[in-house]
């Protein structure tokens, strides 16, 4: 059984702070990793993907991957109230994607 574990939260951070979201996965054969953001009542939208060990930065977002520890994280710098959402971690093996249950983030103005 391929599994993705996320802390369901809720996670609350003040506006302007760094939000840190974490995810572990069970399948060492996983090929790429994704972070999706999902607003209430909406479908998931991609924030970032990463497939090499290390950090990948895109604007205020940084994804970090450590394949040896089977761990992937997402840092959101200068958090804004509009970042309040559920964040889904996912990994891909072959043609299939496996999703975590999501971490709920609230950014307090």
**Residue numbers at the binding site for other proteins (CB under 8 A):** 8, 31-32, 34, 42-46, 49, 51, 88, 90, 92, 95-97, 99-102
In whole angstroms, how close is the CB of 94 to other proteins at the nearest point? 9
Q: In angstroms, give the least distance from the CB of 55 to other proteins.
A: 17
For other proteins, give the closer residue by CB, 46 or 108. Answer: 46
Mapped onto helix, strand or coil, the DSSP state of residue 83 is: helix
Q: Which is nearer to other proteins, 51 or 71 (CB)?
A: 51
Q: Cα dist. 58→22, 62, 67 in Å? A: 17, 6, 20
Q: What's the half-sphere exposure (Cβ side, CA atoms, 13 Å) at 100?
A: 30
For other proteins, give the closer residue by CB, 28 or 109.
28
Are 57 and 49 contacting, i.e. CB atoms less than 8 angstroms apart? no
CB of 39 to other proteins, least distance (A): 12
Tokens 């924030």 sit on residue: 47
């Amino acid at each position: 059984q391929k599994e993705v574990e996320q802390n369901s939260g809720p996670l609350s951070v003040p506006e302007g702070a760094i939000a840190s979201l974490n995810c572990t996965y069970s399948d060492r054969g996983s090929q790429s990793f994704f972070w999706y953001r999902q607003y209430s009542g909406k479908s998931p939208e991609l924030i970032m993907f990463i497939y090499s060990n290390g950090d990948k930065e895109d604007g205020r977002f940084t994804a970090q991957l450590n394949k040896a520890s089977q761990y992937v994280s997402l840092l959101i710098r200068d958090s804004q109230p509009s970042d309040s959402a559920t964040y889904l971690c996912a990994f891909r093996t072959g043609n299939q994607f496996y999703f975590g249950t999501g971490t709920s983030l609230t950014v307090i103005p």
